[in-house]
Amino acid sequence: MVGSYANGAGKNGAAEGKLDELRRRLGKAEGDPLRIAGVGAGAWGSVFCALLQDAYGRDHRDKAQVRVWRRPGRAVDRATAEHLFEVINAREAVLRRLIRRCAYLKYVEARLGDRTLYADEILRDGFCLNMIDTPLCPLKVVTNLQEAVWDADIVINGLPSTETREVFGEIGRYWKERINPPIIISLAKGIEASLDPMPRIITPTQMIANATGVPLENILYLGGPNIASEIYNKEYANARICGSEKWRKPLSKFLRQPHFIVWDNSDLITHEVMGGLKNIYAIGAGMVAALTNESATSKAVYFSLCTSEMIYITHLLAEEPERLSGPLLADTYVTLLKGRNAWYGHKLAKAELTLEMGDSIKGKGTIQGVSAVNAFYELLSQGSISVTHPETKKHVAPVELCPILKTLYKILIKRELGTSSILEAIRDESMSDPRERIEMAQRQSLYRPSLLGLPKVDWQC
């Protein structure tokens, strides 16, 4: 049954064996369940928790408990309630489940306008507000943040990067008396830029560590080519969990499912940075697709140019960055091909959305690429981290070698240019072969440890 919560994940004993192994590593006593708490209930955060509920929380309730926190009070509008009613009635298994749980009548009343539904309420029945067309399994939803996280063994950060610092700052206050820090798996893609006293990036895992005091070895990042609805519908996917060896290897085994393969990797910085960069360039990809009537050639040209910029930028932030291959490349590809950021760029170019509508879009959630454009541009425009221009041999800010990033900044942040300017950027006759940018990044000593808040060292460009 595709996409159903009745997938029998633990019936062959494999799931229970993986669960028991992780419980032993965490020192869990008999009768003390492994407590997994999701923080944030966007599409991917909700699906990730639903996968864990399917695999462990339903059939092994005495050993694992999964709960999700989301803010209360978000009303479901009438149009969405009507669409949700259609979704329910088109799926017999979902309809029967709601009737059995005595939960169907409220959806009838909401469709008629006689009742207001709320996002936390429908999530308990398996409906994520940002992904109505893909019903999930029922989830335990908690609207009190302290109740959700205070005793959690594993916390899943499903928040946008723009909300991570604030929410985990609050969580940190609840954890002051904890003896053993939890494990945190961050799904957030994006960065903040701090310019004072020195330009540097702050990734979501760093935000969490700073806000909570949890050691970085307990904070990991998971990313890959993951379109949330497709993964829940059992489309084959893979991902990498990145961080300390102590936890990434056991967690990769714990998270692995037949249709969702998770590998482990030590390069946390490159994967987190690429996670933010791909959202930036996905907005441009959506614009190019819309403006060229889905021209495969134009989209391929854009892909080659933007990936060369991404590789260049990661060489500033990591001494030996992970190559853009495997799940890292696949994540970039699928985000540029199909994702909320590409969708947003497409809608802007078609004038079906405007910048004045903001970057939080009904039915989609936060378009994280917008804030990432601003953060990366601010960071890479600082003269204090200058690089040598390959042609003029003069020192310039790194952003001067990233024309697509510059153009997206002028479109999305400064609002000086229209969306059609993205085509001018990729059709510039004076543009160098993207291979040259990659070779320059590999040849020059671009690494700037100060951008990560590490001690400044002398460098040669």
Residue numbers annotated as active site: 278
- The strand pairing partners of 57, in sequence order, are none
Q: What is the DSSP string of 375-396?
A: HHHHHHT-GGG-EE-TTT--EE
Q: What is the 3-state secondary structure (H, E, C) of 215-273?
A: CHHHEEEEECCCCHHHHHCCCCEEEEEECCHHHHHHHHHHHCECCEEEEEECCHHHHHH
Residue 417, classified by CB atoms within 10 Å of its CB into exposed (0-12), middle (13-18) or buried (19+), is middle
**List of residues 6+ apart from 352 with CB closer than 8 A:** none
CB 19 within 8 A of CB 48: no
Tokens encoding 424: 């001018």
Compute the half-sphere exposure of residue 58: CA atoms within 13 Å on the CB side of its CA.
18
CB 315 within 8 A of CB 307: no
Q: What is the DSSP string of 333-373?
A: HHHHHSSHHHHHHHHHHTTSS-GGG-SEETTTEE-HHHHHH
Distance CA 180, CA 27 (A): 11
Q: First CA to last CA across the chain, in angstroms?
A: 57
Distance CA 451, CA 202 (A): 9
Residue 133 CB: number of other CB atoms within 10 A? 13
36-52: b or e for each residue (b if 16 or more CB lie within 10 Å)? bbbbbbbbbbbbbbbbb
Three-state SS for 193? strand
Distance CA 88, CA 397 (A): 54
Distance CA 14, CA 310 (A): 39
φ and ψ at 116, to 5 degrees?
-105, 125
Residue 293 CB: number of other CB atoms within 10 A? 7
